[in-house]
Chains A and B, each alone.
Chain A
Amino acid sequence: MPVLEVSNLETVFATGAGLVQAVSDVSFTLDKEESLGLAGESGCGKSTTAMSIMKLIRPPGRIAGGKILFEGEDLVPKTEAEMRQIRGKKISIVFQGVSGALNPVFKLGDQLAEAVLNHEQIDKDEALKRAQGILDLVGIDRSRTNNYPHEFSGGMKQRIMIATALICNPNVVIADEPTTALDVISQGQVLKLIDDLQRKLGLSLLLITHDLSVIAEVCDKLVIMYAGKIAEYGDVATVLKSPLHPYSQALVHAFPPLKGAKQRLESIPGSPPILINPPSGCRFHPRCPHAMDICRGEVPRLVEVEKGQKVACYLHPAK
């Protein structure tokens, strides 16, 4: 049984100008100890999907439909109190933009301990020991539990965020742009750490980022989102080597290769649509070089085209 199964998720935001259909009919599964990358550009709905899974969507947003099965149980109908038992303990999230998440007036050890104490009935000393243990795991000297957040560098703060997410031994970790603000070498260090922890602790990872090159190295499977919907879904190597959806193709070919053959990069004219009144049918059709009449009509469904590779595009009918 997959540890996380999202089916036909719909998340909307009610704004003064209309209803924003931020996430529309999104379905994917995350197996145990697997890494899934959720990729797309700004406004595609990937972060909203993550927040929906954590049930962190607040009014004027709400989950309007679909199921989120975590270890078989649907999270959508769960109450806030029930979700608090799950967040941080069973499913954790690591955010981008680390500095805001740590309280500057509390010592590191206390903050980590608090993260545990929120979920488990152990005493303070035990919690502090766990904090030290997790710091070992993320490569920060355990004596630094007495330091304050401002005494750590950006890369270290990111590790602290990871430590906080892991201290209760969750099964699933969602990482939203965990390395975007970091330098290349710090990024490498953090990714190495995530890889290490994933293996040691048997974690399942949902990695959200616009950077396909990071997903290329870290993830097993890849979901490419566009305008709130899934364009393509499959095995990382396959999707990157032979993307099928015109958007995926353009996106993959927009990344400059480091050593491979140098070709003129592709770019996509126009901008992603505003999701209050998305284009009819396939949301990519206004920008698609292969758009046909049918693309304007009905929304293409996500169908399996090859083993393990799904596309939502009329150019690729089901097998």
Chain B
Amino acid sequence: MSVRELKKWFPVRTGLGRLLAGKREYVRAVDGVNFEIRKGEVFGLVGESGCGKTTSGRLIAMLMAPTEGEIYFEGRNIASIQKAELKELRRKLQMVFQDPYDYLSPRMSVYDIVSEPLTIHKIVQGRTEKEELVAKALQSVNLNPRENMHKRPNELSGGERQRVAIARAIILQPRFIVADEPVSMLDVSVRSGIMNLLLDMKDQLNLTYLFITHDISAGRYMCDRMAVMYLALVVEEAPTEEIINEPLHPYTQALIAVVPAIDFTEKRYLAAIEGKVPDAINPPPGCRFHPRCPYAKEICHIEIPSLREVKSGHYVACHLFASK
């Protein structure tokens, strides 16, 4: 999977006067994002809320059409495919969402929910065959089929619901799954179970993941490579351990320095940088991080740095690394 200059701009409601004057405003949620995901890896998209990671995930899962840019999946540009091909594509490209409470139809049984993809894609006909496949999917997510098939979502805990959501996502045997913050709404002791499940399934079912999260520690546990996003752009992309131990972009450095983690008891918050993320309608000119960057130079106010390979497999978008 690779993404080239992916953009998604949402029009902002503009008054008639400004419209006529040609001043249309957009929320630039994703503004030219590039990265590559290799088969079999877990690729992390990390950042704070509003950085564009969730929108990027939706674009890749083809739940929204991009404003510009290309998305290559198994060699084909899927950014502009038509409805019929899109339906076919869904068998290979699935998504797991953040909210286990909102994302399952409240009036359907677990069987109905997990078998729905089979119905939509007309995979098998008879009820027995469907039940078998549903049972298999439930077993893959460590849910007892007999106990759970006839339950409704409100009879299940958050972790169990998320497992049902995952079962539904894998029943068509996809190749690629976009997981958008799949554990942030779960209790801590339940999160680890789901994360372990996803990792186990990756090996058993030959999957590739895009794992979107704001929790860097979770990202470190799950991901082989990570891309850090800030205000609609990727600022750094590298193997996980390098991002954590040798962050190069000042924003990544700020993030890693301040994020609390269970293995630290010193006051990391003292390192917190000032300011807040600017709004996505009128981002700062040049490098978007420059207003908060301790190393900002003249050029940072003017030119947006592009993502360059600074070490093998390690990309940074920062003028500090302009000349390689």
Residues on A facing B (Cβ under 8 Å): 41-42, 153, 155, 183-189, 191-192, 195, 210-214, 216-218, 236-237, 240, 250-260, 262, 264-269, 271
Contact = CB atoms under 8 A, between A and B. Distances in A.
Most buried by A among B48, B261, B271: B261
B272 A255 contact: no
A61 to B, nearest CB: 22
- Of B216, B262, B266, B271, most buried by chain A (CB within 10 Å of CB) is B262
6 contacts: A184-B48, A188-B258, A212-B262, A218-B267, A259-B244, A259-B245
Of A183, A185, A212, the most chain B CB neighbours within 10 A belong to A185
Given A184-B255, A192-B272, A255 B188 contact: yes
Size class of B's contact patch? 35 or more
Contacts of A259: 244-245, 261, 263
Contact of A258 (B194, B261, B276): B261
A268 B187 CA distance: 11
A183 B48 CA distance: 6
A258 B214 CA distance: 13
A42 B157 CA distance: 12
B265 A237 contact: yes
Interface of B: 48-49, 157, 159, 187-196, 214, 216-218, 220-221, 244-245, 254-256, 258-274, 276-277
A188 B261 CA distance: 12
B269 A217 contact: yes
Given A184-B48, A265-B192, A267-B196, 10 more contacts: A41-B188, A155-B276, A183-B214, A211-B260, A217-B266, A255-B262, A256-B218, A267-B189, A267-B193, A271-B157
8 smallest CB-CB distances across A and B, nearest first, come from A188-B272, A267-B193, A258-B261, A265-B192, A255-B262, A191-B269, A260-B263, A256-B221
Most A CB within 10 A of own CB, among B190, B196, B269, B271: B269
Contacts of A250: 189
B265 A255 contact: no
A250 B220 CA distance: 19
A214 B276 contact: no
Given A185-B255, A256-B218, A262-B221, A216 B264 contact: yes
A195 B260 CA distance: 15
Contacts of B256: 258
The dominant DSSP class at the B interface is: helix
Contacts of B270: 192, 195
A240 B266 CA distance: 13
Residue from A252, A256, A267 whose CB has the most chain B CB atoms within 10 Å: A256
A258 B244 contact: yes
Given A155-B276, A265-B195, A252 B262 contact: yes
Contacts of A186: 276
Given A153-B276, A256-B221, A267-B196, A188 B269 contact: yes
A248 to B, nearest CB: 11
Given A185-B258, A259-B261, A251 B269 contact: no
B191 A184 contact: no
Nearest to B49: A183
A314 to B, nearest CB: 21
Contact of A256 (B217, B269, B271): B217
